[in-house]
Amino acid sequence: MKNENKNGCMWYDTDGNPIQAHAGMILCHKDTYYWYGQNMGGETDRRDTGLHRVDFIGFSCYSSTDCVHWKNEGLVLSACSEPGHPLHPDRVGERPKVLYNEQTRKFVLWFHLDSSDYFTAHAGVAVADSPTGPFRFIREISPNGYDCRDMTLFRDTDGKAYLIYSSDWNKTLRIAQLTDDFLDVNGVFSHAFPEQEREAPAIFTKNGVYYMITSGCTGWDPNNALFGTSKNIFSGWKLIGDPCTGENARQTYFGQSTYIFEKDGVHYLMLDHWKPDDLQMSGYSILPIQTEKGHLTIAFQEYTDL
């Protein structure tokens, strides 16, 4: 189906408003797609430190039956103005990721929860009965005692779920198994790419191989993506190379990875195209990933005719 939204640009919802679902993910549940992401629809505070930020507003959800036209379902977890609240607007809430837990029939949301200087480096957990929320905030944690910044969730083919997060001041990625209800980490964890300074992790598995695409650590500025592979979620991860090809490949087409989802047997990489001076207008791309003999290839193209 034709998509009026252009990769690399701001995307618009079915009401014609800019989609506020940055650093997000797409979950397919009962034939409907749900796009969750950061609502950054406020003014960008341009700090001298270079830490451009938007006060925390909450996480949005958009729904679609074709994965092309997106209806705004509103905020599914909102900031709380009560002083000292973990979700206060002066905090950072980034990279929301949602999994459905079949045993509990709950939707579980994890995200990067931080202070405005990014020094606290925690994860937040929330839960809902419906994909469109509202999500109830449960806890703020330091997963297995480690700092947690950019993160993602991954649900393996055996139903086990993992939190994958940049740790050790972004030097190393950690992979932590979740409890059966997905509401906490269970103490089983490992790491990948030590001292490689990777962030924005996005992961999928195909034919017994795990693939992880990450970015380098350059704030809101683009850099080159790298993918790594392993046959075991916990060990043996190797960085292989840049999956992007063609013009502007070395800057990931001026985007940054956030999630990989599967539709009709094809894996798609979601990118954010950050606009540090006006973060709310940061754009999006959804690009198909080619997998061949353990190698990934991505080309910049329009997300149309699915």
Residues that bind ligand DGJ (CB under 6 A): 23, 94-95, 150, 199-200, 219-220, 256
Q: Is 161 helix (H, G, I), strand (E, B) or coil?
A: strand
Least spacing, CB of residue 19 vs ligand DGJ, in Å: 17
Q: Which is nearer to ligand DGJ, 147 or 199 (CB)?
A: 199
Q: Which is nearer to ligand DGJ, 136 or 250 (CB)?
A: 250
Q: Is 144 helix (H, G, I), strand (E, B) or coil?
A: helix
Least spacing, CB of residue 276 vs ligand DGJ, in Å: 8
Which residues lie below 8 Å from residue 28, measured CB to CB, with a gap of 6+?
34, 261, 263
Q: Which is nearer to ligand DGJ, 117 or 181 (CB)?
A: 117
Residue nearest to ligand DGJ (CB): 219
Quick one: which H or E segment has residue 32? strand 32-38
Length of the chain: 306
Q: Which is nearer to ligand DGJ, 116 or 142 (CB)?
A: 116
Least spacing, CB of residue 155 vs ligand DGJ, in Å: 21
Is residue 50 classed exposed, middle or buried when 0-12, 13-18 and 19+ CB atoms within 10 A define those classes?
Answer: exposed
37, 23 contact by CB (below 8 A): yes
Q: Which is nearer to ligand DGJ, 63 or 152 (CB)?
A: 152
Least spacing, CB of residue 178 vs ligand DGJ, in Å: 21
Q: Which is nearer to ligand DGJ, 177 or 282 (CB)?
A: 282
3-state secondary structure 246-305: CCCHHHHHHCEEEEEEEECCEEEEEEEECCCCCHHHCEEEEEEEEEECCEEEEECCCCCC
- C-alpha 192/C-alpha 177 separation (Å) is 14
Least spacing, CB of residue 149 vs ligand DGJ, in Å: 7
Least spacing, CB of residue 17 vs ligand DGJ, in Å: 23
